[in-house]
């Protein structure tokens, strides 16, 4: 399927002014050996699913494949779109409105991401730690958006839409 004939821009789908931030993210849900891959800041205790901003003229599927490669060094396959989220939250003391597409993903090579407790992102941001968390332990940590705890144990056969206000 052709999306655009123009060269891909390296500009994030991110717009802001002094009061608000609006952005479009693509997120991967990677589950392997009863563990889920999550990320957090190096000194932080709050987790999120790995992903990042979609570039202008890039599909959300292309974005999550690129983001996983940048952050983990691994090639992934997008299995299917799971959820669409509209999120309202504070980001650097600004109101934020995020649209996020969550994909169920798998590794092209199951051994391409270390099966260890935590490892640093391969991206230029060395403050991000990626961790495999046992699925049963997700209820004992803080994960954003908070609805993820419920959703990761109960995938619907259809695409779900939810709204998060954090």
Q: What is the pLDDT of residue 6?
A: 46
> For the chain, which ranges sit under pLDDT 50?
1, 5-6
pTM comes to: 0.87
Structurally, at CATH architecture level, domain 14-106+118-157 sits in Alpha-Beta Complex (3.90)
Q: What is the pLDDT of residue 119?
A: 72
Hey, where are the domains in the chain? Answer: 14-106+118-157
SS3 sequence of the chain: CCCCCCCCCCCECEEECCCEEEEEEEEEEEEECCEEEEEEECCCCEEECCEEECECCCCHHHHHHHHHHHHHCCCEEEEEEEEEEEEEEEECCEEEEEEEEEEEEEECCCCCCCCCCEEECCCCCCCEEEEEEEHHHHHHCEEECCCHHHHCCCCCCCCEEEEEEC
């Amino acid at each position: 399927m052709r999306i655009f004939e123009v060269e891909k821009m390296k500009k994030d789908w991110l717009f802001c002014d002094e009061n608000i931030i609006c952005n479009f993210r693509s997120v991967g849900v990677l589950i392997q050996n009863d563990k889920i891959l999550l990320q957090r800041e190096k000194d932080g205790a709050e987790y999120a699913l790995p992903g990042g901003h979609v570039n202008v003229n890039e599909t959300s599927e292309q974005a999550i494949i690129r983001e996983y490669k940048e952050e983990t060094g691994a090639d992934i396959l997008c299995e299917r779109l799971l959820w669409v989220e509209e999120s309202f939250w504070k980001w650097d003391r600004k109101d934020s409105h995020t649209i996020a597409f969550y994909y169920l993903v798998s590794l092209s090579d199951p051994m391409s991401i270390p099966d260890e407790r935590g490892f640093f992102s391969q991206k230029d941001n060395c403050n991000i730690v990626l961790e495999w968390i046992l699925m049963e332990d997700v209820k004992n940590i803080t994960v954003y958006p908070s609805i993820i705890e419920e959703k990761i144990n109960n995938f619907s056969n259809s695409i779900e839409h939810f709204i998060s206000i954090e």
